[in-house]
Amino acid sequence: MSAGVSSAASAVSKEQNAHYTIALAGNPNVGKSTIFNGLTGLRQHTGNWSGKTVEPAWGQFRYREQIYTLVDIPGAYSLLTLSDDEKSARDYICFGGADLTVIVCDACCLERNLDLVLQILEASDNVLVAVNMIDEAPSRGVHLDLEVLSSELKVPVVALAARRKKGLPELKAAIASSLHSPSPPRPPSVIYSDPVEDALSVLTPALMEVLSGRLSARWTAIRLLEGSDSLISSINDFLGLTLEEQPSVSATLESALNILKSNGYDLLSLRRHVVSSIYSAASQINDKAVVKKESSRDTRQLKLDRFLTRPLTGVPVMLLLLAVIFFITMEGANFFSGYLQLAFDAAGMWLESGLTYLKAPHWLIGAAIDGIWRVLSWVTAVMLPPMAIFFPLFTLLEDLGYLPRVAFNLDEGFRRAGACGKQALTMCMGFGCNAAGVVGCRIIGSPRERIIAIVTNCFVPCNGRFPILTAMISMFLIAGGGLCGDISSALILTGFLVFSIAATLAASAFLSRTLLRGESSSMTLELPPFRRPKIGEILMRSFLDRTVFVLGRAAAVAAPAGLLIWIMANLAVDGRTLLSICTSALDPLGRFFGMDGVILGAFILGLPASETVIPIMIMAYTSGSTLVGAESTAALKELLLSHGWTWTTAICVLIFTLMHWPCSTTVITIKKETGSLKWTIISILLPTVFGLTLCGLISWIARIF
């Protein structure tokens, strides 16, 4: 994994100002990011599911006038691993050059965490164990003896409850003392069988000489004996030499392998022996340090889990939750949009009269008010509220631990489509932002299934596209307004979402029968315990984050887009404006697919940010006649109807919103994640072809009747 190694190398240059670098490692979903945020004061995204962090994150904290750099590493179950995010974790832990590795463990399943602890103890010198979620242990019937644990592992152990911000000062103190007074050399944490130890004692001295302290000689020796190719090539990349070709190493490796062979070990049986030695060491330590009893909380969790996954209730509850979220989003958005529009209208008038008073030229007033201001106000007043409400609600479900249950319910569907069940998780991330969903696909181990998940991610509508859907639905598909209207809007939107999930499955199945032929392979999914979300904090934080994000995009993308459209609408060639030349050129194509040139043009110009599609459409329709202030839904509907919109047009726009090219950020991310132009182009074409085909079909049927 050269990518992981190079990112680790670039890390070193980042850290020159700080004195010490500390890596935060551990199994997935043990609270590494929460500890990271607690120590650094940064806001790395947290959530209750495995695989949320796919890239190391850096932050700093200060303790007694000393600056420490902290690296939040993706979770891994083992250093001998399968998926890309785990490989990048392994590369950082083994080759990142951190001064100290803090291994975070979950107090409630310590035994499994100990496997990784023992593996890291083999690879690194300076290690500290942090047992997190210690507050949950008693209610789950777990009793830990941390002193026994510390003396068994021969490293310092700290207990903390990071979600409740408890134990963080103690952790800082322990980090400082581990760094300032390094622990004496430890005996090996895992002892293997006599022949293996004999082989190691032959190989280790030769390696010690070559490695000169850059890697643990014992750990490197085991990896060489095991013959794990990808890991050995990572080691060689890191060292900048080929270990097996060093004369002293190749000679001793030969004789070490002979010792193993004469004792009946081949590669496979050696690997099994290594793994089972680690696990039996882990369970012996666990037996000494942990007592576990059945608890009433486990029973309650199990009941909830059964309810959320039972055939009769699982899927209906999932749909109901979605519908409730949409309902709250729409109700809340209407409320806020109204006030925001009033404010923007007032400010716009004030701005216009101010500019007139200053005797600004006519074109400047036009560009500023009709161009920039109108698109800006649309994006903030109409698009922002639903996004700022939906996102925190969704984060609540994420924090509760519901997303893995969705993946559990949908796995069989994804398996039949030849894809990985974890694609349900990346799909859910796509509801927030498709670019984030594409990056999240690193949790999928099989390269084939990962490409499927990446290419089909934008089949689910991201946050920026939701408001287009809600606007279309409330204008054209719902008769009355009010509470009844909102409930039916929420239900219809849920229907469209189910449709988009079905389309994701269909597209995945299509890919695994054509371009990415293959059967779905292994899938293992951790179902973390449900945790009470920290409601206030999540609501405020993701609400504010989302607001800042959208406002930032509004300024960076929507405002220039507004200016561009205004210029196109006002620059005339041969008596026709540029905009009308473009839209009439697109018109036949648009009409064929049940839309028109303006709509198609708006989607093309909306490439940098989907939020701008509707405002661009309005500007194009109203260009020349600035009298229509299409800020309210009713006025907008009038405007659209006057430009020949029908019920069919609205349906086609809805379908096309769900399925067209991804926004430019997502396209760039896909290129980065796949490293392939071919898959980037396919990710643009596939949803577009799907969407246009459906729209064409709908408008053809509509023409018949």
Residues forming the site for another protein (CB under 8 A) = 77-78, 80-82, 106, 108-112, 115, 142, 268, 271-272, 275-276, 279-280, 283, 287, 292, 302, 305-306, 309-311, 314-315, 404, 408-409, 411-412, 415, 421, 521-529
Query: Considering the complex, what minimum distance in angstroms separates the CB of residue 298 from another protein?
Result: 8
For another protein, which is the closer residue by CB, 69 or 88? Answer: 88
The candidate with the shortest Cα–Cα distance to 459, out of 249, 684, 237, 613, is 684
The strand pair at 57-63 and 66-72 is best described as antiparallel
For another protein, which is the closer residue by CB, 408 or 510? Answer: 408
- What is the sign, positive or negative, of the torsion defined by CA atoms of 345, 600, 657, 634? positive
Query: Considering the complex, what minimum distance in angstroms separates the CB of residue 109 from another protein?
Result: 3
For another protein, which is the closer residue by CB, 157 or 382? Answer: 157
For another protein, which is the closer residue by CB, 311 or 536? Answer: 311
| 199 touches 256 (CB < 8 A) | yes
| 386 touches 327 (CB < 8 A) | no
Query: Considering the complex, what minimum distance in angstroms separates the CB of residue 292 from another protein?
Result: 6
For another protein, which is the closer residue by CB, 329 or 512? Answer: 512
Query: Considering the complex, what minimum distance in angstroms separates the CB of residue 110 from another protein?
Result: 7
The strand pair at 127-132 and 100-106 is best described as parallel
Q: Residue type for 64, please?
A: R
Neighbour-count burial for 542-553, b at 16+ CB within 10 Å, e otherwise: bbebbbebbbeb
Query: Considering the complex, what minimum distance in angstroms separates the CB of residue 421 from another protein?
Result: 7
The candidate with the shortest Cα–Cα distance to 434, out of 616, 610, 253, is 610
For another protein, which is the closer residue by CB, 502 or 681? Answer: 502
Helix or strand or coil: residue 118? helix
Query: Considering the complex, what minimum distance in angstroms separates the CB of residue 167 from another protein?
Result: 20
For another protein, which is the closer residue by CB, 80 or 579? Answer: 80
For another protein, which is the closer residue by CB, 62 or 306? Answer: 306
Question: How far is 637 from 603, CA to CA, in rounded Å?
Answer: 19
Query: Considering the complex, what minimum distance in angstroms separates the CB of residue 272 from another protein?
Result: 8
Query: Considering the complex, what minimum distance in angstroms separates the CB of residue 519 from another protein?
Result: 9
Neighbour-count burial for 579-616, b at 16+ CB within 10 Å, e otherwise: bbebbeebbeebbebbbbbbbbbbbebbbbbbbbbbbb
Burial class from Cβ neighbours inside 10 Å (0-12, 13-18, 19+) for residue 571 reads exposed
Query: Considering the complex, what minimum distance in angstroms separates the CB of residue 672 from another protein?
Result: 27
For another protein, which is the closer residue by CB, 142 or 256? Answer: 142
For another protein, which is the closer residue by CB, 39 or 501? Answer: 501
For another protein, which is the closer residue by CB, 271 or 671? Answer: 271
Question: How far is 230 from 93, CA to CA, in rounded Å?
Answer: 16
Contacts of 505 (CB under 8 A, 6+ apart): 413, 414, 417, 419
Which H, E and C letters describe 330-382, residue by residue? Answer: HHHHHHHHHHHHHHHHHHHHHHHHHHHHCCCCHHHHHHHHHHHHHHHHHHHHH
Angle at 318 between CA 647 and CA 687, to 5 degrees: 50
Query: Considering the complex, what minimum distance in angstroms separates the CB of residue 407 from another protein?
Result: 8
Query: Considering the complex, what minimum distance in angstroms separates the CB of residue 44 from another protein?
Result: 23
Question: How far is 65 from 435, CA to CA, in rounded Å?
Answer: 39
| 296 touches 146 (CB < 8 A) | no
Burial class from Cβ neighbours inside 10 Å (0-12, 13-18, 19+) for residue 453 reads buried
